[in-house]
Chains A and B, each alone.
Chain A
């Protein structure tokens, strides 16, 4: 695809789950460059947006292109981290094996002929989980699991990295440096992340994508009380309060 084309392009995308309208004529581009945060109220369509980009669900109308092709065909160049940890707590799998899943190859039933253990080691190193490489995934703490899943999402060095609530369980030392760490691992990667944590968002990215049925792009500094009220449909005070809390947290 040509250099300056947008990475993701939504054209009049609408989607409903039954009678529940999730997106209405969403029309936006995601350009390459700095990381982007997706914010919005619960049930506002943030995770749905990521799933549309991945081609896991199809829109009722409108079109989506990702990396110049269809979402399904683009998948091999897209990294993805799930939001909720719903993994079997007894499953016999080690940390290194979980990360190796991120290198599974498209189209074949087989694992890539040679396992790129150098990439796996580098990804583990980046999220500081090397010491746990041979431990069982289920024995890790919530924050450690989150780090493993981040490593799994980025180990293939994707063009586009989608993270759903990556800071939810992270310890603060890594949360502060999360984007820096990811970009150090693979500098040309476009990071798109969903977050509830407005404190983290305002400190970390320059641009936000506000999703609440409609989708708008804003520079982070333009997030005002009015915008939040419009977006969340509730008192900006409450939202800002929690954002402040997030900030306090960072200074601990």
Chain B
């Protein structure tokens, strides 16, 4: 409790309040897109996109330092590679159903490897670990605005196309027969997943993004009768985990990201086992 008081009222701990605020706002896209990812069973695709993003980050860092392409911000590179990976992974999952997992595994590792090679060849030393795990305590006010925008975009899409999204996730063939443009809607979902991943990877890291995208929504799915219940539940749980994780990490003086992941993961496993 003492730690919480400190976080909220100590002037020198502004960065902690920023982290808490980001956690709360980021929970909206995490809970919403996460529910679609879990319900449509594409967690594996989301993880592949998250890792392939490193390819774009590596390339833009290299281009920045080697060729002086200062306009090529790592975030821009990540966005391009993320959306490209989403479209590629989506196309593969639609066209190569039989070999889907292997091909997606290839895209996953290839994207990462290319990123690491570029980072290795970049004149200035960059620690790839910072991209894998990120640091929620290093975010800026601009990041918070970006994530708020993302939250509005994602919520807007879900409100606009809720029924077709439910149909897409539950029974794609039937939805297509009723005239829903399932391919476009599926690729749009993947692209928004990619945008969510890219924006948040630079703040919290690849591993935490995957955990927060899938685990709160998966827990909510165990108690939901409707998809929007799951989205709402996933968002609230995500807020709870990031809040508790940030608070506890400060009180116990341990890294924030891994602690949030441990909280999510253990809760999910405990609930699954208890519900059996």
Of A56, A110, A136, which is within 8 A of B173 by CB? Answer: A56
Assembled-state Cα–Cα distance A135/B224 (Å): 11
Q: Cα distance A90–B174 when bound, in Å? A: 19
Q: Is the CB of A98 within 8 A of B170?
A: yes
CB neighbours of A98 from chain B (8 A): 170
Question: Could you give, for residues 225-249 of chain B, a 1 whenever the CB lies within 8 Å of some chain A CB and a 0 otherwise?
Answer: 1110110000000000000000000
- Please determine whether B225 and A54 come into contact, CB atoms closer than 8 angstroms: no
Per-residue contact bits, chain B 188-209, to A (CB 8 Å; 1 contact, 0 not) = 0000000000000000000000
Min distance, Cβ A115 to any Cβ of chain B, angstroms: 8
**Nearest residue, chain A, Cβ from B185:** A109
Contact between chains at A136 and B178 (CB < 8 Å): no
Q: Are B179 and A75 in contact (CB under 8 A)?
A: yes
A33 within 8 A of B: no
Task: Tell me which residues across on chain B come within 8 A of A94, comparing CB atoms.
Answer: 225-226
Chain B contact residues: helix, strand, loop or mixed: helix
* Chain B, residue nearest A96 (CB): B226
Rounded to whole Å, the gap between the CB of A135 and the closest CB of chain B is: 8
A100 within 8 A of B: yes
Q: Is B10 an interface residue (CB 8 A)?
A: no
Interface centre among A91, A97, A102 (most CB of B within 10 A): A91
Most buried by A among B162, B169, B174, B221: B174
A54 interface neighbour in B41, B177, B179, B227, Cβ under 8 Å: B177
Residue of B with least CB distance to A104: B178
The answer on a CB contact under 8 Å between A104 and B167 is yes
Contact with B along A45-72 (1 / 0, CB 8 A): 0000000001010000000000000000
Contacts of A100 in B (CB 8 A): 163
| Chain B residue total in the interface (Cβ 8 A) | 30
Question: A102 — which chain B residues lie within 8 A by C-beta?
Answer: 178
> At the interface, yes or no: A2 with Cβ under 8 Å from chain B?
no
Question: Is A82 part of the contact surface with B, judged by Cβ < 8 Å?
Answer: yes
Bound complex: CA A136 to CA B170 (Å): 13
A88 at the interface (CB under 8 A from B): yes
Q: Are B170 and A93 in contact (CB under 8 A)?
A: yes
B231 CB to closest chain A CB (Å) equals: 10
Q: Find out whether the CB atom of B175 lies under 8 angstroms from the CB atom of A104.
A: yes
Tally of contact residues, A, Cβ under 8 A: 31
A87 to B41, CA, bound (A): 12
Task: With A76-B179, A101-B167, A107-B179 as known contacts, state yes or no: A92 contacts B162, CB within 8 Å.
Answer: no
Other-chain contact of B180, A91, A93, A104, A135 (Cβ < 8 Å): A104
CA of A87 to CA of B160 in the docked complex: distance in angstroms? 25
B163 partner, pick from A78, A88, A91, A111, beta carbons under 8 A: A111
Are A101's CB and B170's CB within 8 A? yes
Q: Which residues of B contact A134 (CB under 8 A)?
A: 225
Evaluate whether A92 and B178 lie within 8 angstroms (CB atoms) in the complex, with A110-B161, A110-B164 already known: no
Q: Is there contact, CB below 8 Å, between B166 and A80? A: no
A92→B179 contact, CB < 8 A:
no
In the complex, A250 Cα to B164 Cα: how many Å? 40
Instruction: Assess whether B41 is in contact with A104, with CB atoms less than 8 Å apart.
Output: no
* Cβ contact within 8 Å between B225 and A92: yes
- The answer to whether A91 and B185 have CB atoms under 8 Å apart is no
A93 cross-chain contacts in B, Cβ below 8 A: 166, 170, 225-227
Closest to B161 in A: A109
Partner of B174, one of A82, A105, A135: A82
Q: By the criterion CB–CB under 8 Å, are B226 and A80 in contact?
A: no
Q: What is the 8 Å Cβ interface bit string for chain A, positions 214-239, against chain B (1 contact, 0 not)? A: 00000000000000000000000000
The residue of chain B having its C-beta at the shortest distance from the C-beta of A108 within the complex is B179
Q: Which residues of A lie under 8 Å from residue B180 when comparing CB positions?
A: 104, 109
A184 located at the interface, meaning its Cβ lies under 8 Å from any Cβ of chain B in the complex: no
- A170 to B161 alpha-carbon distance, docked (Å): 34
Are B164 and A104 in contact (CB-based, < 8 A)? yes
Residues 171-209 of A at the B interface (beta carbon under 8 Å): none
Evaluate contact between B178 and A101: CB separation under 8 angstroms: yes
CB distance from A57 to the nearest CB of B (A): 12
Query: In the bound complex, do residue B179 and residue A105 qualify as a contact, i.e. CB atoms below 8 Å apart?
Result: yes
Task: Compute how far the CA of A78 lies from the CA of B227 in the bound complex, rounded to whole angstroms.
Answer: 27
- B181 at the binding interface (Cβ < 8 Å): yes
Interface residues in chain A, defined as those with a beta carbon under 8 Å from any beta carbon in chain B? 54, 56, 75-76, 78, 80, 82, 87-88, 90-94, 97-98, 100-102, 104-111, 134-136, 152
